[in-house]
Amino acid sequence: MKARLFAVLALAVPAAAAAQGVAASKNLYEISKGWLIKSAEMMPEADYGFKPTPAVRSFGELIGHVANANYMFCSVVLGENSPQTGDLEKAANRAAFIKGIKDAFAYCDKAYLLADAKSTEMIKLPFGMEGNKLWALMFNVAHNNEHYGNLVTYFRLKGMVPPSSQGGGM
């Protein structure tokens, strides 16, 4: 019953325990980052346009949306202008979507190296919401996982096993 959750936990906290606030979010960020990149690489190009019902984003649009969001959250945490160019939901093809999400995560990686002392600094997201930097880092992970949860169902509908369920032993 708890097989998939155990898979999550098995990946968690590789060596030393996460002793600090930012480390608690970085650990979880890394797990779903891995799943999302694998997801993008796993889906055949022909299914990048797949959507289970017309009201939702296609597989590719979800990958692009997650990439957009990572640039947004992490540039705010880093206190920089986002280096993103263009709307990644509109990437031209599979290779461009994969590059988009990989680049977004590579950019975001820096934000999860934030010193705890800075994690309580206040920031404002583009829509006017305010919180501290740790909150924004956690929000980004929660958002990544939520959309990963969409993708899981898309994979299953295509008869594929999502990355988080490929650990074996289940």
Give the Å distances, CA to CA, from 158 to 36, 44, 119, 170: 17, 10, 41, 20
**Closest separation in Å from C-beta 147 to another protein:** 6
Q: Which stretch binds another protein (CB under 8 A): 38-46, 66-74, 91-99, 104-112?
A: 66-74
Token pair listed for 131: 């919180």
Question: Do you know the residue count of the chain?
Answer: 170
**Closest separation in Å from C-beta 45 to another protein:** 21
20 binds another protein (CB under 8 A): yes
Number of residues located near another protein, criterion CB under 8 A: 60
Q: What is the x/- site pattern for another protein, positions 110-129, by CB under 8 A?
A: ---------xx-x--xxx-x
Q: Which amino acid is at 89?
A: E
User: Interhelix angle for 133-157 vs 59-78, to 10°?
Assistant: 170
In the complex with another protein, the residue whose CB is nearer, 62 or 98, is 62
CB atoms within 10 A of CB 19: 8
In the complex with another protein, the residue whose CB is nearer, 46 or 53, is 53
Give the Å distances, CA to CA, from 95 to 43, 60, 117, 148, 162: 11, 11, 39, 19, 19
- Which residues bind to another protein, rule: CB under 8 A? 1-2, 5-6, 8-10, 12-13, 17-21, 23-25, 27-28, 32, 52-53, 55-56, 65, 68-69, 72, 87, 89, 119-120, 122, 125-127, 129-132, 134-135, 138-139, 141-143, 145-154, 156-157, 159
